[in-house]
Structure 1
Amino acid sequence: MAAALRRDTRGIVDPTELLTRVRFRRHDPAAPLRRYVENYWFIDWDLTEPYASHIVPHPSVNLTFERYDDEPATGVFTGVSLGLYTKKLTGRGRVCGVKFRSGGFRPFAPDVPVMQWTGRELPAHDVFTSAPADAAHAVTGPDDEQARVAALDAFMLGLGAADDPQADLAVDLVDRIRTDATVHRVGEFATAQGLSVRALQRLFSAYVGVGPKWVILRHRIHQALERADSEATVDWAALAADLGYADQAHLVRDFTTTVGVPPTAYAPAAR
């Protein structure tokens, strides 16, 4: 597993606090899956008091297999979450998750536009109706971590994702937005990719689950969170300019709406 994969905490609100409460790891999926699956993520905890984790979600679909205390294991499918995602953890538990690449989920469920799942959380079997009924137990049951990875590989490979050039295009476009700090406006980005704005919006609706403007704004907030978590002092006016905002007030508004507190209040608390 690449070091960058281990270190990346982008989107986690106060990652230092989270990592003192839980064991959090990522694993690469089997090679044939990497075209559309970004990583597997594992969380285990044994808490003496409740803890609420907060995530500013990526534009990604997630599949999780979850086990809490001595309850039966369950599978949960989560479409792209639009707001702050909060999960309350208590007692002992284990989650083994699959994070699909942004734009990469539809090959596993080709008949349904990804936008249909946005903002929804439902039993995994409602989406993967032909999957084995004992999949959640098979994934979460082993204490050996590599056995859990192998069980996830077996489950995912069994779904038989179809090749889809449109999914490949969507994955590539979202990745360009994520890695290119100069992408600020949908119209300019569409033109640069040789697409009309309408064609880009249709592609994102069908394969990503949210529009390109939402993806651009969400990655801005992720970058702002990362800066707040890693720097002793943040020049918010300069950062707003770097992220393509008209002024600092617009960044403060988006940050506060998404994270729940203004950046000047979040940064000291995170440190």
Structure 2
Amino acid sequence: MRHEPRQDSRGILDPGRLRRQVRFRRRLPAPALRPYVEHYWLVDWALTEPFDQHVVPHPAVNVVFQAQAGGPEIGQVAGVGIELFTVTLHGTGRASGIQFRPGGFRPFWRRPVRELTGLRRPLAQVGPPVEGEHCAGTDDERCRRLDDLLTAWGPVPDPVAAEATALVEEIRVDRSILRVDDFARRHAVSTRRLQRLFLDHVGVSPKWVIRRYRLQEAIEQAAVGPVDWSRVAADLGYADQAHLVREFTAVAGVSPAAYARSLAGPGGG
């Protein structure tokens, strides 16, 4: 189990611009919650003009609290996002979020996680009653309130959910995993069981998870510099360069070359 939150920017399009526009940081939850929660994320902003941020979602559920200056705090549960997520920030505000580990929300939700995929629902419809403000105070105070919320929710340990979490983590870190049937054989399970496990506990199929993590790697490589896209396509398991370009464009909204140019241009990166 990690003792520090992830430092990568995987999934965040143009992370340099994000950090110039807002205060963004990650914090770990209380130790007892770490089997379920990847990290908390905190964002504060004071903008003179609207700012659009684009994110290629991870296979993870998020609980998000957002408070715009002068308005009420809103809490939502965001299921795994299938498409590019865009948020427009303006004025002054704060957000406090919980990114669950893939499979980590099932012990709280106790229902098939696929029921939330692609949806955002008020937290009051999904979780326990919410007390207090989760966007107010210092970072430590905000994180303690998130700890208290999840502890009160009372996750029920689920060995199958833990299995799903471990399988997704393996896909995330092992870039040689490219095919569902090969992955199923590696773990001596049927492809059908793997499909059911992922849909019920992660919210998306194992093929979707593999493709999403490999695509996020391609996005990271686009930000590094000149890229041999035919080589990247082969390394990440795409049929050819055209297949990678189509999927990249469909998910990120721009082609790999256009994204790389946007980072290299004035104010990019």
Q: Secondary structure at the residue paired with 2:149?
A: helix
* Alignment check: 8 A CA contact 2:102 2:164 kept: yes
Q: Which amino acid aligns with 1:125?
A: A
The alpha-carbon distance between structure 1 residues 3 and 107, as it changes in their structure 2 partners (threshold 3 A), is: closer
List runs of 5+ in structure 1 lacking aligned partners: none
Q: Determine whether 1:26 maps to 2:20.
A: no
* CA deviation vs aligned residue, 1:62-98 (integer Å, no higher than 9, x gap): 0011101110111111000000000010000100000
SS of the residue corresponding to residue 231 of structure 2 reads: helix
**Contact kept in structure 1, 2:108 and 2:156, CA below 8 Å:** yes
2:140 aligned partner: 146
Letter in 1 for 2:135: T
CA apart distance, 1:3: 9.3
Equivalent residues of 1:6, 1:25 under 8 A apart: no
User: How many matched pairs?
Assistant: 264
Q: Helix, strand or coil: the match of 1:88?
A: strand
1:46-195 alignment, distance < 5 Å: 46-110=46-110, 112-128=111-127, 130-132=128-130, 134-135=131-132, 137=133, 139-142=134-137, 144-195=138-189
User: What's the secondary structure of 1:74's corresponding residue?
Assistant: strand
Cα distance in 2, alignment partners of residues 260 and 161 from structure 1: 37
TM-score normalised to the size of structure 1? 0.95
Counterpart Cα distance in 1 of 2:18 and 2:32: 31
Q: Which amino acid aligns with 1:238?
A: R
2:5, 2:38 within 8 Å by CA — same for their partners in 1?
A: no
Q: Does 2:246 correspond to 1:253? A: yes
What is the root-mean-square deviation in Å for CA atoms of aligned residues?
Answer: 1.4
Q: CA deviation at 1:168?
A: 0.5
The Cα of 1:23 is off from its aligned counterpart by 0.5
Question: Any gaps of 5 or more consecutive residues in structure 2?
Answer: 265-269
Task: Name the counterpart of 1:7.
Answer: 7
Task: Say if 1:52 and 1:86, in contact at 8 Å, map to a contact too.
Answer: yes
Is 2:221 the counterpart of 1:227? yes
C-alpha contact 2:61 2:105 (8 A) present in aligned 1: yes
Specify the SS of the correspondent of 1:7: coil
Q: TM-score, normalised by structure 2?
A: 0.95
Q: How far apart are 1:7 and its partner, in Å?
A: 2.5
Q: For each residue in 1:32-85, what CA deviation from the matched residue of structure 2 results, as whole angstroms up to 9, or x when unmatched?
A: 000010100001100000011000000000001110111011111100000000
User: Does the residue aligned with 1:122 lie in a helix, a strand or coil?
Assistant: strand
Matched, 1:198 2:205: no
Instruction: Give the corresponding residue for 1:268.
Output: 261
1:237 aligns with 2:220: no
Cα displacement (A) at 1:119:
0.5
CA distance in 2 between partners of 1:12 and 1:108 (Å): 26
Percent of residue pairs identical: 47
